[in-house]
Amino acid sequence: MASPSSSSLLSLGSIAEPLETSLLISPIPHKPNPDPDSERISLSPATDDEIFLAEYRRLARIFATGCTERFPIFIPIGSSSSTSAVAAPDAHLASLQFASCMVVKKKKKKKKQKKDRSAEMVRISSPSEQEQINFRDIIRRARTTFESLRLLIIQDEVRRESLGVLEKRSRADLKAAAFMSKRGLWLNRDKRIIGSIPGICIGDVYFFRAELCVIGLHGHLQAGIDYVSAGRSSSGEPIATSIIVSGGYEDDEDRGDVLIYTGHGGLNRNQHKMYASQKLEGGNLALERSMKYGIEIRVIRGMKINNGPNGMVYVYDGLYRAVNCWTDIGKSGFEVYKYKLLRIEGQEEMGSAMFKLAASLKLGSLSVRKSFYFCNDISMGRESFPVSLYNDLDDDKDPLQFQYSHHPIYPPAILEKVHGDGIHGCECETKCSAECYCATLNGGEFAYDASGVLLRGKPLIYECGTACRCQLNCPNRVSQKGIRRRLEVFRSNETEWGVRSWDFIQAGTFICEFSGIVLTKQQAELLSVASRSLVQPNRFPRRWVEWGDISDVFSDYMPSTYPYLPELNFSLDVSRARNVACYFSHSCSPNVFMQFVLYDHYNLSYPHLMVFALENIPPLRELSIDYGVIDEWSSKLTV
């Protein structure tokens, strides 16, 4: 992400030393205040500081947690290699360990003083491609830990309810953030970053404000303006760093690149109407000062969605600058402060705009695609949702030359042993429970939550399948139902062909299966000589280990080693028959991962190759997977 121009910016701290990552931190140069009347509108440091700290302590009480040390701008995430491996499965192991940790924390009752975020403001110079990948992995690691904790907290509450323990449901997002805060895993807190944050991309999507706090994109759970107060700023003036636009104020006017933003204060949150006039103080004054000195502001938009845990997402839309500030009488008859912000040119397309474009595509509006080739469904009805083909670069229609195979084609000898050696399906006639036979195959736990989100990756997952008596709506039947979103194969300058979704994809959810003609080891060896395009499952890295890993928070967390999966020696021939997954691009920092699943047979040597989301993926963002060893075999997939 390119940094905006640093001309005419305010100096708000001492000169910073370079980070160990070799990125340069540019101190913001000092510009004297040319307005002698500005002293009249500035709050005294003591008054503003008291307001800021009172709000901060109130939020700290919500978290009921504390930091034990002042940690660096990017916390190095501990590797899972430091944890010991589990030798055998144990029913509900993760949730029981988590519950015991919670009990221990309650008994200690040791109060800790939470340290404030640093007020020293810096700007990060443009990272190299490799540095951007490294920072992206750090951000993803923190987000994966947050989401894994949140899911585990919810599952633990569900388990306790099933045991007859009736308790009020907690805010799992706040609890997850609190656990991470105690371990010093909140990012970007020892310096306040102005502008772009390395590792955070325009269009990134979040469900909770607590997650924004964890990664340092926005530092308040409720306030729409994040800022450094006058009392903590070295210049004695408050400076805003980010704002959230979520429709909370009736006087906001959002035209995308042009935003009329209403200041904070005087709002009746239950009715979204004003009950008092606003004042030029706190965040309002900080926005005015940022306008005066040309400080760029990160803008996050809140948008309502149909799917997701709380019906709303927060989309990072990039950097804006305030260019005007005035008072006006709002719709409710009270005086409000208004700010005109313009989006800085040269940035990637806004994430919120991609949501709107995807929505129009799903409604059948193709007016935005005036010069292109478009095929509505290359699967010819074989998938439960159409898979479109789009090419606006040339006349290449190569994906139409292959037979579309929505399920892998197995050799008859493999399917002859549907039940394997003495293994059979469950006999649940209604809803499967923890005593379900398929649950025992998974180590005494279900792989998914009630919404079909994968709780944690495993070497292998047993879904209820063709040999089971449970109903088709069983929560343990997820990936076998096929794709549940509108996917599109598109022509790309960078990757020849790529795949993206018209729908938002939640982290941990199933996307599609890798499909083709299944070959035994002997068959694959013969066909590889004939230069066939082969996908070799044993080359995919064990990225499933990352999903559900909470070892950064609980050092005794043990990654799953059960169910057992032998070395895979089969291949998928995609030279004649293939599906949408064969057009995924490769990335060393992917947003999807491979998870092996069994459901229609129990031959461990030939599992299904199911693709799950490693992070929240916004509409029309390219899907990428880590193929592992990159050589001729992977390049042939897009030829």
Does CATH place domain 373-625 in 3.40.718.10? Answer: no
The winner for highest mean pLDDT among 4-13, 27-36, 137-146 is 137-146
> Which pLDDT score is estimated for 271?
64
Half-sphere exposure of 434 (CA within 13 A, CB side): 12
Weakest-pLDDT range from 428-432, 531-535, 567-571: 531-535
**Residue 479 pLDDT class (50, 70, 90 cuts):** very high
> Which pLDDT score is estimated for 352?
94
Angle, helix 129-162 to helix 93-108, in steps of 10 degrees: 90
Mean pLDDT of 378-400: 93
Asked whether residue 306 carries a pLDDT value surpassing 90, the answer given is no
> Which pLDDT score is estimated for 639?
34
User: How does DSSP assign 88-140, residue by residue?
Assistant: S--TTHHHHHHHHHHHHHHHH----PPPPPP--EEEEPPPPHHHHHHHHHHHH
Mean pLDDT of 586-609: 93
Mean pLDDT of 373-381: 92
> Which pLDDT score is estimated for 418?
55
Of 1.10.40.30, 2.60.40.10, 2.170.260.10, 2.30.280.10, which CATH number belongs to 122-362?
2.30.280.10
**Residue 322 pLDDT class (50, 70, 90 cuts):** very high
Query: What is the per-residue pLDDT across 178-191, written as a single tens digit (0 to 9) for each?
Result: 999 999 999 998 88
With a pLDDT cut of 70, the percent of the chain lying above it is: 77
Query: What is the per-residue pLDDT across 187-206, written as a single tens digit (0 to 9) for each?
Result: 998 888 999 999 999 999 99
Mean pLDDT of 577-606: 93
**Where do the CATH 2.170.270.10 domains begin and end in the chain?**
373-625
Asked whether residue 401 carries a pLDDT value surpassing 70, the answer given is yes
Asked whether residue 637 carries a pLDDT value surpassing 80, the answer given is no
> Which pLDDT score is estimated for 115?
64
**Residue 113 pLDDT class (50, 70, 90 cuts):** low
> Which pLDDT score is estimated for 422?
58
The winner for highest mean pLDDT among 43-52, 284-293, 623-632 is 284-293
> Which pLDDT score is estimated for 301?
96
Weakest-pLDDT range from 231-245, 275-289, 409-423: 409-423
Asked whether residue 392 carries a pLDDT value surpassing 80, the answer given is yes
Nearest C-alpha neighbor of 407 from the set 268, 269, 580, 256: 580
* CA separation for the pair 26, 17 (Å, rounded): 9
* For the chain, the helix, strand and coil percentages under 3-state DSSP, each to the nearest 5: 25, 20, 55
**Residue 490 pLDDT class (50, 70, 90 cuts):** very high
* CA separation for the pair 458, 548 (Å, rounded): 9
> Which pLDDT score is estimated for 586?
93
Phi, psi (5° rounding) for residue 606? -135, 65
Query: What is the per-residue pLDDT across 450-464, written as a single tens digit (0 to 9) for each?
Result: 999 999 999 999 999
**Residue 424 pLDDT class (50, 70, 90 cuts):** confident
> Which pLDDT score is estimated for 216?
94
Query: Residue 76 in 3-state DSSP?
Result: coil
Considering Cα of 191, then 127, then 315, then 63, what sign does the dihedral take? negative
> Which pLDDT score is estimated for 425?
85
**Residue 373 pLDDT class (50, 70, 90 cuts):** confident
Weakest-pLDDT range from 138-142, 273-277, 293-297: 273-277
> Which pLDDT score is estimated for 275?
87
> Which pLDDT score is estimated for 2?
39
Query: What is the per-residue pLDDT across 77-92, written as a single tens digit (0 to 9) for each?
Result: 233 333 333 333 443 4
Q: In what order do the strands lie in the sheet with 192-193?
A: 25-27, 121-124, 192-193
**pTM (2 d.p.):** 0.81
Mean pLDDT of 287-312: 91
**Residue 29 pLDDT class (50, 70, 90 cuts):** very low
Place of tokens 């279900």: 446
Cβ atoms of 464 and 476 within 8 Å: the answer is yes
Weakest-pLDDT range from 167-171, 317-321, 443-447: 167-171
Mean pLDDT of 303-329: 91
Cβ atoms of 464 and 600 within 8 Å: the answer is no
> Which pLDDT score is estimated for 448?
94
- Rounded to the nearest integer, the mean pLDDT of the chain is 80
Pull the structure tokens for residue 214: 């964890």
> Which pLDDT score is estimated for 434?
77
Asked whether residue 614 carries a pLDDT value surpassing 80, the answer given is yes
Weakest-pLDDT range from 281-285, 303-307, 311-315: 303-307
Asked whether residue 24 carries a pLDDT value surpassing 70, the answer given is no
**Where do the CATH 2.30.280.10 domains begin and end in the chain?**
122-362
Mean pLDDT of 59-74: 37
Asked whether residue 468 carries a pLDDT value surpassing 70, the answer given is yes
> Which pLDDT score is estimated for 630?
59
**Residue 508 pLDDT class (50, 70, 90 cuts):** very high
With a pLDDT cut of 90, the percent of the chain lying above it is: 51
Phi, psi (5° rounding) for residue 512? -165, 175
